[in-house]
Amino acid sequence: MSTIKQQRLAKRIRWAARIIGLLAAAFFLVFLIGEIVIFMAMQQEMGLIRGVLNAMLVIVAVAGCIVSWWRQWLAGILLILTSFALVISGIAVYGFTIVLLFGSPFLVAGVLFLLSWWLSRKTSSSASALKL
């Protein structure tokens, strides 16, 4: 594959990852805000603490999407770690299948960011080798 095609592919993958990551983060942030409000109304401290911790994970995911404009590798790592943390924190409450659905958009976006970074790095190194 030519370097121009690889660069285009990397750019498209990067944009797909940004869109998936931001949509998932926005959806789960709204979902978690509602969960926090419900637990505050029911005066359940454990539910409120879990809701705040999950909201912090989603904020880390949003930070990963913001970082993706400069460092795709860091964004990919942040989103993959957020995915695993959401799965681990929610298994006892929601069940394994539901939690996999919660974490999977962040996992997909993180893998796409890492793939985009790898393709960009690969094309930049081959382009610099051609200049020599």
Angle at 61 between CA 56 and CA 62, to 5 degrees: 95
Residue appearing with tokens 């985009």: 116
Q: How many CA atoms lie within 13 A of 2 on its CB side?
A: 3
Q: What is the DSSP string of 46-100?
A: HHHHHHHHHHHHHHHHHHHHHHTTT-HHHHHHHHHHHHHHHHHHHHHHH-HHHHH
Sign of torsion over alpha carbons 66, 57, 94, 112: positive
Domain boundaries, the chain: 16-121
pLDDT value of residue 114: 92
Whole-model pTM above 0.85? no
Q: How many CA atoms lie within 13 A of 124 on its CB side?
A: 7
pLDDT value of residue 112: 92
pLDDT value of residue 3: 80
pLDDT means over runs of 10, the chain (132 residues): 82 89 83 73 67 78 85 90 82 66 85 90 61 49
